[in-house]
Structure 1
Amino acid sequence: MSQLPGELHKIPLCSLAIPGSHDSMSYDLDINSSVVEPDNLKGLSKIYLARRIVHKWAVTQEESITKQLDAGVRYFDLRIARKPNDPDPTRLYFYHGLYTRTDVETGLRMIHDWAEKHPKEILILALSHFEGFQKEKRNIPTLKSCWDQGRNVIVSYDYSANQHPEMWGRIPYYYGDSMDPAEVESKLRQSLEKGRSSEAFYVCGLNLTLPEDTRILRYIFRPCDNLTKVLQRSLPKLLQWVKQQTSHRPNIVASDLVTRDNFVSTVVQLNISKVEIT
C-alpha cells in the first residue's frame, strides 16, 4: 500500500482495490481433527477417509499467513471456532471443514508481528462464523440462590461492538455460491452494478463454492481431483474478469490460492488504472 501513487493516499480505503484471501488459514487444517462441516459428515469424524475427503475439498490456500502477507494480501477471512469439550474454554481455533492446528492467539500473533514491521501496510481482519459459541442457557436466580452465593446485585448491559472505535462492523462478502466460474462472474457483476456505499467496505469473493445438496457428490468422490486443482483451472478466467472491472471497480477482492497467477498484482493494478483514468 505504501507503494501506491500519492494520489491514492488520501482517498477512503473502501475506494481502493485491496487483495484479500478467502478462508485464509485453511492451509493449516488438521486432518486428524473432528469434522466441523458439512453437517452430513460430522458423524463420520472418526473415519479417516471422511476427514481426508473434507481436507481435499476444504484447503483453499497453500501458503502461510506470513507468506500471504509478504505476497501483498491485505484482507483476511478468519473463521473462528471453539472445540467442544476443550479443556481450555478460552482457546479458539480457525476452521474450514476441519479445525486448524494453529490456535487463534498464535495466528493473530503472527499477523501482529508482521504488522509491527510494516507500519504503512493497512491490514483488514474479518473474524466471522464463531462456530461452537452457542449461548448457554441461563438459570434465572431465586432469592435463595442469590443468598447462598453471597450476591445481591444483578447487572444488565447492552453495549454493541460497533461502539468500540477499534472494531469495525461486519463487512459484506459477495460471492457466486457456485463451482462454475461463469456463474461466479455473473453474480459478482450483478452485485457491482447495484452500486455500493462509498463509505463502507465490501468484498467480492472469487472463490468457488461446493453445493450443499447431493450435487456435492459429483465433486468429492473424484479420485484424482481436489479443490486446489479445480481452482487452478478456474482462477485465470476469474482474474481476466477482474482486469475488466474498470467502470464498476471492486473494493476488496478475495480469492483462493492468493499467491498464484498474479492475483495480487492484478487487483493492485486496478488502483493504477484508476489514477490513469483520472
Structure 2
Amino acid sequence: MSGGKGKESGEVRNNRDWMSQLPAELHTIPLYNLAVPGSHDSMSYDLDINSSIVEPDRLKRFSKLYCVRQIVRKWAVTQEATITNQLDAGVRYFDLRIARKPNDTNPTRLYFYHGLCTRTDVETVLRDICDWAEWHPKEILILDLSHFKGFDEKNKAQLHKHLINFIKTTFGAKLVLNSASPTLKSCWTQGSNVIVSYDYPTSQHPELWTKIRYYYGDSMDPTIIESKLAHVLEKERPYKYFFVCGLNLTLPNDARALKYVLRLCDNFLNVIQRSLFKLLQWVKQQSAKTPVNIVASDLVTRNNFVTTIVEFNRKHVKAQ
C-alpha cells in the first residue's frame, strides 16, 4: 500500500518527499531532534510460511508442522506494505532483524525474520532501498540492523564481514559517517542520505553507527505501553543521539500468549489496528510535553500514522 491514497481509506497522504519539504528552520538542526516515522519489524509482511521457526525458542521443535508455522506467521506479521511502499508512504526508519537459515547451501545468504524468515534475502532488499535512496536524494533513511540470529561462533565473523562489505559497496557515498551530528543540510551538501545502525561492534567502520536504543512497552495493553513510554521520554531518553519510541504491541513470552493466539478468527494485524488510534492519540499529546525522535509503529500505512509524526516537526517550528 502506498502513501498516496486518500483520507477515506485510513491511509496516509503522499509523504514521499516530506523531508525535503520541511521548513528551512529545520534544515540545520540535528536529525535526532526531528520527529521521524519508523516501522517496527519492517519486513514482516514477507514472512515465508515454508521457513523453519526462528522464534520463540519453545516452538522451534515444531517447525515441521504446517499448522504451527501458520499460527506463528499469523501472530508475527506486523506490516502489510512492502519496503518500497513504506518508503513512498514517508517511513524513514526501518527495524531490520537479520537471520541466517540453518543448513542454507549459500554460506553468506541472509534473510530478515520475525518468528519466521522472509522469502526475500537481505541483499535484494538493501539494493531496493539503495535504488529508492538514489531517486530521493533529500530523504534521509535510517536502517537499523540487529539481532543476527544464526550467527554462531563458527561463522559470525565471516557473516558480519560479508554483510558489512556488502553495505559499504552497495550504498557507497550515500552512507552518512558516524563522526558528526548530521542535519538535513549537511547530508544534502555531502550527497549522503543513508544512516546504517549496526548492532555489533564495528569501530573500524566509520560508515556504520552504533545501536539505536529502541524503547517499547513490552505489553499488549496500550495503557501500559503509554505509561512506560511516558516514563522513558520524561526520564531516560538520550539527548544527543537517535532513539526510538516504539508504539508496537508485544505478545507475552510465556503461556499467557495463548490468550491471543488461540483466537481462531483473529490475528495480530487486527489486534494492532484496534489499538493504533489510541496509541497515536497518546503520542500526539505526549509530544507536546516531551520531544520525540523516531516513532515506530506497526501498520505504518494506516490511521495517518506518518502524517501524524511528520506534523510534529511543523509544530516544533511554531514553538520557536
The Cα shift of 1:263 comes to: 0.3
Classify the secondary structure of the residue corresponding to 1:165.
coil
Q: 1:259 aligns with which of 298, 301, 305?
A: 301
Match of 1:230 in 2: 271
Deviations 1:172-206 (Å, cap 9, x if unpaired)?
00000000011111100000001433210000000
Partners in 2 of 1:102 and 1:262 — Cα distance? 28
Q: Is the 8 A contact 1:175 1:188 kept in 2?
A: yes
Partners in 2 of 1:103 and 1:269 — Cα distance? 34
Q: CA RMSD for the aligned pairs?
A: 1.2
Partners in 2 of 1:172 and 1:39 — Cα distance? 24
Deviations 1:232-270 (Å, cap 9, x if unpaired)?
100000000111121202100000000000000110111
Match of 1:242 in 2: 283
**Equivalent runs, 1:61-210 vs 2, <5 Å:** 61-136=79-154, 160-210=201-251
Indicate whether 1:272 and 2:314 are aligned: yes
**Equivalent runs, 1:216-227 vs 2, <5 Å:** 216-227=257-268
Partners in 1 of 2:242 and 2:86 — Cα distance? 21
Q: Runs of 5+ in structure 2 lacking a partner?
A: 1-18, 156-199
Deviations 1:145-192 (Å, cap 9, x if unpaired)?
xxxxxxxxxxxxxx9513422110000000000000111111000000
Partners in 2 of 1:26 and 1:160 — Cα distance? 26
Q: Which amino acid aligns with 1:19?
A: P
The percentage of counterpart residues that share the same residue type is: 70
TM-score (norm 2): 0.79
Partners in 1 of 2:238 and 2:75 — Cα distance? 34
Q: Which structure is larger by alpha-carbon Rg, 1 or 2?
A: 1
Aligned length: 257
Q: Runs of 5+ in structure 1 lacking a partner?
A: 138-158
**Equivalent runs, 1:2-17 vs 2, <5 Å:** 2-17=20-35
TM-score (norm 1): 0.91
Detail structure 1 runs of 4+ shifted over 6 Å in the superposition: none
Deviations 1:118-158 (Å, cap 9, x if unpaired)?
00000000000000001129xxxxxxxxxxxxxxxxxxxxx
Q: Is the 8 A contact 1:242 1:266 kept in 2?
A: no
**Equivalent runs, 1:21-32 vs 2, <5 Å:** 21-32=39-50
Partners in 2 of 1:118 and 1:217 — Cα distance? 44
Q: 1:43 aligns with which of 46, 54, 61?
A: 61
Deviations 1:201-231 (Å, cap 9, x if unpaired)?
0000000000001100101010111000001
Q: Which moved more, 1:238-247 or 1:118-127?
A: 238-247
